[in-house]
Structures are given as structure tokens and as C-alpha cells.
Amino acid sequence: MQLKQRTISFFKWLGFKRSLLLIAFGYWLFCLPKVLFEAPTSTVIESREGFLLGARIAADGQWRFPATDSVPYKFKRCILLFEDEYFYQHPGVNPVAVTKALWNNLTTDSRRGGSTLTQQVIRLSRDNKARTYSEKLIEMVQATRLEFSYSKEEVLSIYASHAPFGGNVIGLETAAWRYYGLPAAELSWGQMATLAVLPNAPALVYPGKGHEVLLIKRNRLLKKLMDRGEISATDYELSIQEPLPGKPLPLPQLAPHLLDRMVKEKPGQRIVTTLEYKLQVQLNNSMRLHHGNLASNEIHNAAVLVLGTDSREVLAYVGNSPTSAAHQVNVDIIRSRRSTGSILKPLLYASALQEGSLLPDMLVKDVPTSINGYSPTNFNKDFQGVISAREALSRSLNIPAVRLLESYGLERFYRKLKKAGFNSINQQPNHYGLSLILGGAEASLWEVTAAYAGLGATLIHFDQESSQYRTQEFHAPVLQLNESPDLGSLDFKAPIWTAGSIYNTFEALQEVNRPFGQELWDSFDGAQQIAWKTGTSYGFKDAWAVGVTPKYTVGVWAGNADGEGRPGLTGVQAAAPLLFEVFDQLPKSEFFAKPFDDMVQRTLCSKSGHIAGPHCQHTEQKWVADAKVLTLSCSYHQSIFLDAERKYQVNLDCYPATQIKNESWFVLPPYVAHYYAKNHPEYKALPSYKPGCFPAEMPNMEFIFPKETSDIVLAQDFSQQPNEVVFKVAHRKSETTLYWYLNKTYLGTTDVFHEMALLPKAGNHLLTVVDADGNEISHEIHIRNP
């Protein structure tokens, strides 16, 4: 009976013991928290090469970089010799060291730790709680559990990332930058030895009495490294001569506006960006010099964005010039919405080329224009009469652009812009009206540069992908290395603009006018071929310049962040010089390959740029975008009959057929010819008809202003009095006399310059003009008071 009871008691004891073991094992298994360190970390951005571009302090006020997954060899040797020589032998706890520390603490008044690096990791994760025997026991248990879950190298990395290095400096990488201004991997033995002894006594880093102790500890460690054969005697002698760190150094701030952006989008992370370190440094220096020139004209802000045309990776990001806080130095101009000025004109030009309603050299009208009360003007206040579409784009003329938008369709163009990523243009098309093409909308440098890069990438991939397009070609720029945007699939249909229309547009953009009198521009012209465009917003508030090559797309903006306009704040003067300075620092590339599969050869009239008609004197073959809709043949060249002396026009009713000379003549409507002749002295108006011959049915004169029936609002001067309205007429014979009437009331005559200043009363009126031959034109006008 007693044996049975003893047996039962024994098994109960075994069960109890087993339960205790299971409980102990369960505690050990789950004693580690899921996340060892929950403290916030700094936001860190690096270049694609791994160089530090900038960092922001963590939310708790500590400089604590996100954890790294590797430890430099020098630090590893230093910290193991100083703190834990048997790190690779023990399971997280060193029994020998613990026994010695316990005996020392029991038999003497001094205190000895005996903690391994693994235990120190646990102590740091537990916020350095009071050093009691119970806390030490917890640390020992969790240290063994940590070693079970992590490799030795991982434990070292955790320690290096979370060890204190004095003040608010946490982690080896942070300390390397704060004390030496270098990445940890580039520190010397002397510098690394200094950092290795700091976590043991972080306060020693501050100048004063602690510096002497720090020096002794560092040199003792260096001597130990020499004795162990880690460094030579020469390295030792040189290392002990190195000065100790003093006041913490400021961290690099090479892309502060991008850093601010990452703080909002990816706080507390280490972001390896696509930026090229050397290029970023160069452009920061260029911006500093350029800002000095702009500031002399009280232009305080500028920005530069460089993209890889093919990859759309952001290679340089200069968000603002180095101005002052009073001039909004912290504003990220690259992401700010600004009036687009003329920067969207090439996109409209490409749209019309793609449709087929425009050819690159086709003559377009540049005359006073009023469309539903909107009357655009050119920058130089002049008119060309007619000008080739290519030249109108390269000279950034406003009136041809507005007329083109009106004919192409405001809503159609608006939809293309939305597809191209212009999310800042977020109102309905009618909100902008035709002023959309002249800066009536706002966009960011980010969007503009990306769109131009999308044009270039379309050409590149059309050539590479057997004349197919990527359906998602116009995507946002890439900021993070190894990020892969969705490029869609391949399709023979262009997503927005065809390769042929883009190529013709880029050909025109190579001819953009440079500023006069600057030798730098002349010397640069031959350096490489760039398709580029400038833009200036109304009131001289925004200056743009964007350039594209097969390798790079560069966008530049200059102006004042507060919107203050300045004389001379134009794209050509304020933004373009910096654009070309940036390209001068980039590797050169050949121009885009001509996309023959999306282009056709057309026989064009050399003079008008239209499809050659039967009366065109000179024609040429040109590659143009392949479009389903074709423009009409040239209507500017007409066949006329002249007398034998080629002095007068004649016809068969008044002149012998055998003496009639047939010629092709370049003919413009009178009101167009009025402006065209001013800039083209070679232009010859049609000869008069020989006396006795009846003229063909073609108007001899036309109104220049007003062109169509429209409301006219009387402007006021400074004294609130209405100003006169100047009415203009063009006549084939400018020297003739014209007679002016208002509501059948005779007003007077004009010679040569047919302009009449009037101040009609409010209401409807009939304006009539009669020439010396009795030809008459009339125009209804409606006058409104302001």
C-alpha cells in the first residue's frame, strides 16, 4: 500500500515537474515581443548609389536611422573586442562572465556587468530598466530566445542600429554621420574604435573631462586591435593621433524638398531613391549660381527636375532655390501648381498633326482675332499675317495657338491632357476656355516634365517594340529605386499621341529661338540636339523651360512662390539658361530615330506648306505624320492671266488670248496681306485689272477690326472717360482713298493707313467704307459702355 502511494506521489511529482517545464518552455518560447523596438525612426533618403541625401529627426526627437541589415567589418571587430569577445561561442549568455560578475558584486563594493551584446540588445529593447537581479534574469532568458530566432549577424545588426551614442544619437550609421560626416563603412579604425566604446558610456562624447576618459578607452581598444593583429603598428600610431569628435555635425541636405515629401508619404523609412548623387550635387551648385543672377531682379524661386526619358526615373530633384524663409524657401516648387503659359502648345501641335488637320510647315493665320469675345495677343504685340505652323510653335505665337485650339476642339484637347497625367487641370473645359493654351490652367513642374518625357519615351519604344506602343506610357515619374510602374501592354494604336506627330513636333522644337546676344547659346547649339520649349505666364509670373533628348528630360521653372511678377521673368531669359546649363552637365545623346512606320512622304507646296496644288510653283517631298484625314491642297497659289507686259490682270473678254500670259501667284486675303507684307517686303500683291477689264470676284478690301459682328466694350482712361475705338481696313491698293460712313453719316477719308478712330454712342451701328472705284463693305457693330 505504501509502495503504491509512493508510486502515485512520484508520478504526481513528475507531472508537476513536467508542467513546470512546459510552463517554463512556453514562457521562453513566447517571451520575446513581436516587435523588439517600437520607437519611431528618422526618415532617410539615399541616392541610387547609397549615399545619404538627407534625413529628418524621428518623432520622439531622436536621431535614429532605420535599422540596417549589415555591420561594417571594422565596427564588428572593435565592438566584439571591447564588449563581447566570445560572442560567436555563447548562446546569448556567457556563463563565465556572469559567474565572475556575480562573485565580484557579492564580494566587493564595485559593480560588474558581464552582459553579452545579445543581452544588451534585450536591455535596449526594454528601455534600459533598473538593473536588478530579476531584470537581469529576464534579460538572460530573452537573450537566449533572441539567439534562437536570429543569426549572430542579425543580432549584431540590431545592436548597431539601436545602441546609444550620446545625446539624441541612436545607431551606428547615425553616429557616423553626426560625428564624422561620413557613412559608417568609410570610417577609419580610429573613428570606429571611438564609436565602439561610446555605447558603454555615451556621455563621454561631450567635450570636457569625459573626453579624457574616452581617449584612454579608445586608445586601449586600438592597442588591443594591434596586439590581435587586426591593425598594423603604423595604423595604430596614426589612429591614436586622430582627434575625438566634438559638436555633432549637421546631416547632408542635398534634396530637402524631396525629403519633406518622403516624410509625408513614407515617414520613418529609409528610401533608396533614383537620384544620382553626383548630378544632384552639381545641380544644387548650378541652382545656387543661377539664383544669384535671378535674385538681382528680385526673382527668388526656381526648381529643376531631371528624368530619365525612357525609365522616367527621377535623376535630380531641386525643389527650390537657396533663398530665405521670407521668400518661401521651404515650398516644393516641383509639386506646386503654376500657370502653364505656353508650355502646352507643343501638345496641341502634335494633336493637330495626328488628326491630319495640320502639316508641319502649313501656313496658319496670325491676325487680330476675336472668338466669342476672347481676343488673344502675341507676346510682341505684332502680327505676321500668315506664318508656318512650325515657326509659330518655335516662336510661341499666341494667336495661331488659340485659333488652332478653337478648330481642333477644346474638349478633345482637354481629354488628351487628362490622359497625359495633368491632374492639376481639374476644372471642366469651359472653365478654362481657349485661354487653356496660353496659361489659363495650372500644372506642376512634376506633371509637365513627365508629359514631355512621355512623348520622348513613346518615340523610343515605338522604335524598340516593332512599331507598337505601350498603353501606359504616360505614367508618373519613378522616385524609388527598383520601383516598377505599370506599363500596360503593347498595342499598334497610340494611347495619346502617335510617333509621327511627336517626331514632327520635336523637329519644330529644335528650332526654338535662343536669346540674342549670348555667345553661350551659340556655342551650345552644336553640342547636342534638344527638343525644347519655353513658356511665360500672364503678368510675367512664371517662367518655364522643358527639354527632351532620348536620354534625359529636364524641366525648369523660375519665378516667385508668392506669385509676384517681374519684368524679364520669361521662359527664355529666366529658365532656359539654366535648362541648357543642366544639359551641358549631362552625357550627350543622338536625336530620336525617325519613326518611318508612322510617317509618309507628301508632296508639299514649298511656299505654303500645304499639300501641293496644281498652281504651286515649287514643291518638295517631306516626311510627315501618317494621318487618316488630310488637309486640302494649297489654296494660296492661284493661276492668273496677265497682259503681255505682265503689268495688269486681264481676261478673255478684254484681251487677245494669244497675248495673255498665265502665271501662278501667291495670293493672300487683303486683311492677311496687310500684316504679312510688313514683314515680307518681297510679297507682291495681285496686279490691278487693265482698264476696261472686269475684275474677278475677289474682295478688294476687308475689315481688319472688327473682323466679325461682335460686341465692343469702350475702354476707360484714368479719368474714367471712354477711349476711342480704332477701326481698321485693308485694301489691295494701300495708296487708294477710302471714304468712311457711320449710319450713313460721312466721317472722312483715309490714305495709305486705313484706320479711323471713333467714339460711337452705345447701341447698334452700321460702319461702311467705300473705295475710289465705288466698291463698298459694311459691318454691323454693337457698342457697350464699360
The residues annotated with a catalytic role in the active site are 83, 342
- For residue 297, what is its C-alpha cell? 531682379
Say how many residues make up the chain. Answer: 786
Q: Using an 8 Å Cβ cutoff, are 732 and 775 in contact?
A: no
Q: CA triplet 12, 18, 20: central angle to 5 degrees?
A: 105
Strand order from edge to edge, sheet including 725-731: 701-705, 725-731, 755-758
List of long-range contacts for 384-387, beta carbons under 8 Å, 24+ apart: 384/675, 384/676, 384/679, 385/668, 385/672, 385/673, 385/674, 385/675, 385/676, 385/677, 385/678, 385/679, 385/680, 386/668, 386/672, 386/676, 387/363
Q: Please give the C-alpha separations between residue 271 and each of 131, 275, 319, 320, 631, in angstroms, as whole numbers.
A: 37, 11, 18, 21, 52
* Strand 63-64, strand 169-170: pairing: parallel
Contact status, residue 534 vs residue 545, Cβ threshold 8 Å? yes
Could you give the C-alpha distances from 137 to 32, 142, 592, 718, in angstroms and in order?
Answer: 14, 9, 71, 90
For residue 313, the cross-strand partners are: 478
The dihedral over CA atoms of 209, 210, 215, 216, expressed in degrees to the nearest 10, equals 90
Cell of 428: 471642366
35 CB-near residues (< 8 Å, 6+ apart): none
DSSP state of 484: -
Q: Give the DSSP letter of residue 339.
A: E
Determine phi and psi for 617, rounding to 5 degrees: -75, -40
Measured from the Cβ of residue 207, the count of other Cβ atoms closer than 10 Å reads 11
